[in-house]
Amino acid sequence: MKKLIRKHLKKEVVVLIICFLLVLLFGYLIFNSYNIYIMTSKNYWAENIDAIGQSVDSVFLDINDFPQQEGNDILYIGKINSLHDLLNSQDMRDEEDKRKLAKDFMNFMEVNPAYYNLRYIDENGMEIIKVENDGKSLFVVEDEKLQDKSDRPYFNKIMMLDKDEIYISRIDLNAENSILENRGTEEVPEYVPVIRYGMPVFDYGGKRKGFLIFDIYADYFLEDIRRASRNGDFMFLVDNNGYYLAHRDKSKEFSFMFGEEDRIDIDYPDVGLEVLRSFDKRFIETEDFVFTFRHIYPTVGTFEIYQGSRKIFGDKPEDEHYWVLVSVSHSSGMKKDMKNIENDFILSAIFSSLIVLLIVVLLFVILLINGGQKK
């Protein structure tokens, strides 16, 4: 009888040990599954943020090449012989010198369709030569249609620069005679966003003789931003004051030129200013959105141009105007996928629990059956 009891107790101990080991296994499986869930969640979120960042960087790199190339172009035009022939002629109105320079302007613009117009303006602010691209053809503007630009903001800024220094304007809408150019209709306007590059020019004696100024179609890179999207995300470009320069809703663009207030800090009051002023951040998460952004300095940083060892552009971003390329991603989609990962973890934990419970029940049933048979 004692032997039977001992044997029975031994079986119970063995079963208890097995159950204990199964509980440990269950705990390990849950712990391991939880770690996998945490790692999967973090990796999924990081991969999504990285994918958005890569999309932004791709557009950023396209924009990055633009000012560098245009800066090189104006330096090149500043050295052509026909320009210096005119600058050093006895008569700045000499028709033959003007014709040669206009022809060189035309040849250059024929192979560079991004240029809206190319002008030489004298030291008094008067246009001397202007070649224009109206979107259909190139032509030299007639003398009687040339304008005095001495009242324009860029006039004094460019005239204050030294040799080989380059002025880059803010992006705005082109205006002629103080009227915004509209290539569409009154009901559906098509304004012309431009960015201007200017550089002073001098004769052989070092006397300032006015400046070159290029007007460039900003839509050449703004349109890439408007079209950029990824799984419902969208991008826009704002200036340092928060005004939209490129947006999928074009009615929001350049509102500062119409006395309106379409700005990032108005549309996103909780985070707009932080995006504008967070110079060392690359993304910000809110409850509903992920903002991925890059600050762009059209006169400094990666847009530096060097003439020999001399840097042409400025040094301090805070002293210059800048743009911010922003991607807005709805976090709801990512959170939904995160919820699916969480649900998978819960199902895995429930399934593991049922397996362990089933084994424990089976062991006890077997124990009871064996015990009943021996009686």
Give the domain ranges of the chain.
47-332
Share of the chain above pLDDT 90, in %: 25
Tell me if 230 sits within 8 A of 55, measured CB to CB: yes
Say what the pLDDT of residue 26 is. 66
The span from the CA of 115 to the CA of 196, in Å, is: 10
Residues contacting residue 110 through CB under 8 Å, at least 6 positions apart: 138
Instruction: Count the residues in the chain.
Output: 375
Say what the pLDDT of residue 309 is. 37
The span from the CA of 73 to the CA of 70, in Å, is: 5
* Coil, helix or strand at residue 39: helix
The span from the CA of 285 to the CA of 269, in Å, is: 14
Question: 47-332 falls under which CATH superfamily?
Answer: PAS domain (3.30.450.20)
In this prediction the pTM is 0.72
Share of the chain above pLDDT 70, in %: 66
Other CB atoms within 10 A of residue 297 CB: 22
Question: What single letter denotes the amino acid at residue 234?
Answer: F
Tell me if 264 sits within 8 A of 275, measured CB to CB: yes
CA dihedral defined by 295, 296, 297, 298, rounded to 10 degrees?
Answer: -160
In the block, tokens 């703004």 appear at: 222
Q: What angle do CA 268, 285, 234 make, to 5 degrees?
A: 60
pLDDT, tens only, 73-100: 888 899 999 999 998 887 666 788 889 9
Residue 236 tokens, joined: 């826009």
CA dihedral defined by 113, 115, 117, 121, rounded to 10 degrees?
Answer: -140
